[in-house]
């Protein structure tokens, strides 16, 4: 709850600092089969806004999806097309699901307006139009949209932060925990192999003690990069804790996983790590424990336990090696 409150304060701060964003000219799309009426509408709106017109109903949806508009103004009175169809299509498509729609209706079209509101139209005006009212209603919808866009962006950044390790940029253990059961279940149901690598830096305390904690951090960051460069996009690398990292390799059997693990071990041992802004370097090795999914009677916990035991053996057998 405290986190949520903090976020609200953050968002308010963000919005205050972005009021210029919110004030910038809006991009509007007018959908009206009647070209003359559409131009008149544009004249009313174009002092404060950038306004496009589409008069071909069949092209309207494409324009809306591709156009990055702040608000779409749909006029009724089409002869060949139901304007509400466009509205419901917009609501069905992810990209335009939340895009404001203002309906412009004739004065005797109250029931059509009601159906429109049911379909998710945000606001409406009846002809004859009052310029000030039109501008005010458009402005309200544009502000609401930009505010919501900022909120959504801020929320997804918060979620991203919660599952990212800030030192290395890799995913953190929370992310691994929430994704592992899905990867595990999927591998079992598809009868596909799944491998896990657990890595731990060798004598990492010594690196900290000799070169300082910041140098240790440099090594961790560099290692994360090397790890990332040696796995596929579908593999999941995360910082499991201090100087322990876990890599989950879907569709990968023991033999292939051993090749990957050996490549990672080699890429660490073969090239010293730069520390203190590149003014010095340090030799680093890692130990790796490898475990593979056993189709019968296995669990995420057992799989990780086997990887952990393998890692322990790698340490005991002299470090700088892969055991699986």
Interface residues toward Mg ion, by CB under 5 A: 200-201, 204, 244
Q: Quote the least distance from Cβ 178 to ligand GH3, whole Å.
A: 22
Q: What does the DSSP 8-state code read for residue 130?
A: P
Two tokens at 302?
Answer: 């057992």
Q: What are phi and psi of 105, to 5 degrees?
A: -120, 160
Of the residues 48, 50, 217, 308, which one makes contact with ligand GH3 according to CB under 6 A: 217
- Name which of ligand GH3, Mg ion, none residue 25 binds, using a CB cut-off of 5 to 8 Å depending on partner kind: none
Whether 243 is a known active-site residue: answer yes
Rg of the chain over CA atoms, in angstroms? Answer: 29
The reply on whether position 242 binds ligand GH3 by CB under 6 A is yes
C-alpha to C-alpha distance for 84 and 91, rounded to whole angstroms: 11
Sign of the dihedral through C-alpha 67, 72, 78, 82: positive
Q: Does 222 help bind ligand GH3 (rule: CB under 6 A)?
A: no
Asked if residue 289 binds ligand GH3 (CB under 6 A), the reply is no
Instruction: Kindly state the smallest distance separating residue 213's Cβ from ligand GH3, in Å.
Output: 4
In whole angstroms, the minimum distance from the beta carbon of 316 to Mg ion comes to 11
Sites for ligand GH3 among residues 155-184 (CB under 6 A): 167
Report the Cα–Cα distance between both ends of the chain, in Å, rounded: 43
Which of Mg ion, ligand GH3, none does residue 62 bind (CB under 5 to 8 Å by kind)? none
- Would you say 181 and 300 are in contact if contact means Cβ atoms under 8 Å apart? yes
Catalytic residue among 243, 244, 266, 301: 243
Closest CA to 117 of 128, 107, 109, 108: 109
Q: Could you tell me the two tokens for 208?
A: 């900290």
- Cβ-based neighbour number of residue 102 at 10 Å: 22
216 binds ligand GH3 (CB under 6 A): yes
Residue at token pair 């962006």: 153
Q: C-beta of 273: minimal distance to Mg ion in Å?
A: 15
Query: Which residue has the CB atom at the shortest distance from ligand GH3?
Result: 216
Query: Which of ligand GH3, Mg ion, none is residue 216 near (CB under 5 to 8 Å by kind)?
Result: ligand GH3
Q: Residue 213, interface with ligand GH3 (CB under 6 A)? A: yes
Contact call for residue 200 and ligand GH3 (CB under 6 A): yes
User: What is the distance, to the nearest Å, from the Cα of residue 290 to the centroid of all Cα atoms in its chain?
Assistant: 30
Query: What does the alpha-carbon distance between residue 81 and residue 83 come to, in Å, rounded to a whole number?
Result: 6
Binding site for ligand GH3 (CB under 6 A): 167, 200-205, 208, 213, 216-217, 220, 242-243, 315, 319
**Known catalytic residues?**
243
């Amino acid at each position: 709850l405290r986190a949520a409150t903090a976020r609200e304060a953050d968002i308010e701060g963000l919005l205050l600092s972005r009021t210029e964003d919110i004030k910038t000219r809006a991009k509007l799309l007018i959908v009206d089969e009647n070209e003359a009426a559409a131009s008149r509408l544009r004249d009313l709106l174009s002092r404060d806004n950038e306004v496009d017109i589409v008069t071909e109903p069949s092209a309207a949806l494409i324009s809306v999806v591709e156009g990055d508009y702040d608000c779409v103004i749909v006029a009724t009175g089409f002869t060949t097309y139901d304007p509400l169809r466009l509205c419901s299509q917009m609501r069905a498509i992810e990209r335009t699901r939340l895009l404001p729609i203002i309906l412009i209706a004739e004065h005797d079209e109250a029931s059509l307006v009601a159906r429109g509101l049911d379909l998710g139209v945000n606001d409406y005006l009846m002809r004859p139009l009052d310029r000030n009212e039109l501008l005010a209603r458009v402005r309200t919808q544009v502000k609401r949209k930009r505010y919501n866009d900022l909120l959504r962006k801020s929320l997804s950044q918060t979620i991203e932060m919660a599952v990212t390790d800030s030192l290395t940029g890799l995913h953190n253990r929370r992310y691994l925990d929430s994704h592992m059961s899905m990867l595990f279940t999927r591998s079992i149901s598809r009868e596909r192999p799944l491998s896990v690598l657990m890595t731990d830096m060798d004598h990492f305390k010594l690196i900290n003690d000799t070169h300082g904690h910041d140098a240790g951090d440099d090594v961790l960051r560099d290692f994360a990069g090397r790890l990332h460069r040696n796995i596929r996009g579908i593999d999941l690398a995360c910082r499991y804790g201090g100087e322990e990292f876990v890599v989950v390799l879907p569709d990968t059997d023991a033999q292939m996983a051993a090749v990957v693990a050996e490549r990672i071990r080699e890429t660490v041992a073969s090239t010293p790590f730069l520390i203190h802004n590149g003014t010095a370097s340090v030799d680093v090795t890692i130990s790796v424990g490898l475990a593979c999914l056993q189709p019968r009677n296995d669990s995420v916990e057992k799989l990780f336990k086997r990887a952990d035991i393998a890692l322990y053996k790698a340490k005991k057998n002299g470090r700088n090696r892969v055991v699986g």
